[in-house]
Amino acid sequence: MDHTDRKILMELQRSRQNTKEIAAKVGLSVTPTYERIKKLEKEGVIKAYVALLDREKIGKRVVAYCQVTLLQHQKELISKFEDAITRFPEIMECHHVSGNFDFLLKVAVGDIQEFHQFINEKLSVIDGISNIHSAFVMNSVKERTAFEL
């Protein structure tokens, strides 16, 4: 990946643009820009194209980060937990982390009642969970999706 590829990736992360617009901004013609984009897709550098939604406007007013600790650090228990987590649409992100807990989950729901229901009926019934600690987002100061290249 060279400097031009990085410029193309930065443009793709900024906004929805066609190949002609990106080509003009990175100083190439349309065909080499298109070929570079296809190569970056094939190599898996570009994983997907998405639309970023305003969570308030779609009714996801509550965001919480849940710190989950498992009873034991066993491969089978970790795999079962990870498998169960993938089935919950409320969970936006799940990270296996080091430190005082095992997993960090980002959960987005409509209201506190929905969060309570999610914790009691979905998350806490997964076998092998020892503790769940939740912190609610009061205000988002900075949210980014683009990596600096």
User: Is residue 144 a contact partner of residue 103, using CB atoms and an 8 Å limit?
Assistant: no
pLDDT confidence of residue 68: 98
Q: What is the pLDDT of residues 39-58, one digit of tens each?
A: 999 999 999 998 888 999 99
In a domain, 21, yes or no: yes
Average pLDDT over residues 107-116: 98
pLDDT at 13 over 90: no
What secondary structure letter does DSSP report for 51?
-
CB contact at 8 A, 135 and 65: yes
Tell me if 50 is assigned to some domain.
no
The type of residue at 41 is E
Q: Are residues 132 and 68 in the same domain?
A: yes
Residue 80 in this model has a pLDDT that exceeds 90: yes
Range of the domain at 123: 62-136
Q: Please tell me whether residues 71 and 129 are part of one structural domain.
A: yes
Query: Average pLDDT of the chain?
Result: 94
32 and 74 belong to one structural domain? no
In the chain, the number of structural domains is 2
Identify whether 117 is part of a domain.
Answer: yes
The mean per-residue pLDDT over the stretch 122-149 comes to 93
Asked whether residue 146 is assigned to any structural domain, the reply reads no
Q: Give the length of the chain.
A: 149
pTM of the model: 0.86
Residues 29 and 71 in one domain: no
How many whole angstroms separate alpha carbon 22 and alpha carbon 112? Answer: 43
**d(C-alpha 139, C-alpha 126), whole Å:** 30
Q: Looking at the domain assignment, is residue 56 inside a domain?
A: no
Q: Are residues 94 and 35 in the same domain?
A: no
Q: What was the pLDDT predicted at 58?
A: 93
- Calculate mean pLDDT across residues 122-139: 96
- What pLDDT, on the 0 to 100 scale, is given for residue 147? 87
